[in-house]
Amino acid sequence: MQTDESVVGERSPLMLDRRSRIAEVVRQRGSVRVNELADMFGVTPVTIRNDLAALEREGVLLRDHGGAVALPATSALIAFEQRAGIRLEAKARIGAAAAQFVQPGDTILLDAGTTVVEMVKHLRQRTPLTVVTNALNIVIELRHLSDVQVWMLGGTVNYATFGTLGPLVEQSLGDLVVEKLFLAAESVDSGYGVTDSTIEIAQTKRAMARAARRIILLADSSKWQRRGFIKVLPLESIETIITDTDLPDEERRRIEMAGVQLVLV
């Protein structure tokens, strides 16, 4: 039975879950029609058009006549650059705080993400280091630092994040043990933990977590109370969360109840 969006609320978990799944369908297929999505998710074509419009505004896909298409690499690059400029001051503070958790001589794993890039800018006084990463832009940023050994994880390039992913990345991570993982996130919820809307990204993040003794999550407050439809990690598996002071009070309480260290900047 088809439902109307007004029944479930403007930003209900049901709607957020559906949009995450729509984004994954478009990414995997390359293109999809409105009527096909309406049948797939049991909602009206009007609801699907609203979903596609919202996803286009977020830089996830492009609408065309009667449906949507996946972003080409150039558009994905533009979307990445737009995300990098969102909440930049908060990301810079989070990145600076995250760098304080790095000690000279550490072997660290850096996830692909705009906030993690900000962290790299504060590592100059933390060398010598061994850095393992799947992020092309982080490798480029690290060229400015001396006494840093860089391991780049090879795999399929996701231009939306500048990160590599896939079986080759996971296989390489299976052979590694690192002190600390600095993890980025698309969506975080204190009830569901870290989630994502892309299965390959979720699998890569899980492989990173398995390779690390400590997990430190970098996620500004705009990432919270959001849910992708693919679980990445439960909150309890994270040792430290670094975010900004706009984090909702409800999320703060749940994080503290879970016994996770919370750093607000």
Do the domains 5-71 and 87-264 sit in the same CATH topology, yes or no? no
CATH architecture classification, 87-264: 3-Layer(aba) Sandwich (3.40)
CA dist 223 and 45 (Å) reads 28
Summarised one tens digit per residue, pLDDT across range 164-176 is 999 999 999 999 9
- Our CA dihedral for 138, 140, 146, 151, rounded to 10 degrees, sits at 60
Domain boundaries, the chain: 5-71, 87-264
Query: What phi-psi label fits residue 66: left (phi over 0), alpha (psi between -120 and 50 degrees) or beta?
Result: left
| Per-residue DSSP letter, 129 | E
pLDDT higher than 60, residue 117: yes
Higher pLDDT, 13 or 31: 31
Domain made up of 5-71: CATH architecture: Orthogonal Bundle (1.10)
pLDDT, one tens digit per residue, over 31-77 is 899 999 999 899 999 999 999 988 887 777 889 889 998 876 555 55
DSSP reduced 3-state for 168: helix
**pLDDT interval class at 227 (50, 70, 90):** confident
**Torsion, Cα of 216, 218, 221, 225 (10° steps):** -60
DSSP 28: H
